[in-house]
Amino acid sequence: MSQKKTIFVTALGGVAEVDTTTVPEDVEVEIVDLDELEEDGTDYIKKLSVGAQQYVKAIGFIGF
């Protein structure tokens, strides 16, 4: 069994939509809404997976 991969989709100033028929079975897609992150601050952060929190920090969008 191969390790599951994750794709993070960011949405800023619009709507993020993923066509699940184009995503391979072993790829997990997680949407990170940067607008929501700006509005709600740490409340939205708590809703994200640990991997998504690390991703947001790594791209420099928020320091936590």
Q: Is residue 63 part of a domain?
A: no
> Is the residue at 45 inside a domain?
yes
Residue 64 lies in a domain: no
Total structural domains in the chain? Answer: 1
> Residue 38 falls within a domain, yes or no?
yes
Provide the pLDDT for residue 50: 93
b/e 25-50 (16+ beta carbons within 10 angstroms → b): eeeeeebbbbebbeeeeeebbeebee
Q: Write the pLDDT tens digit of every residue in 1-28.
A: 567 778 788 777 777 878 878 888 888 8
Residue pLDDT, tens place only, 24-45: 888 888 888 888 887 765 688 8
d(CA 7, CA 24): 11
Q: 30, 62, 28, 29: which is closest to 45 by C-alpha?
A: 62
Range of the domain at 31: 5-58
CB 7 within 8 A of CB 23: yes
Amino acid at 48: L
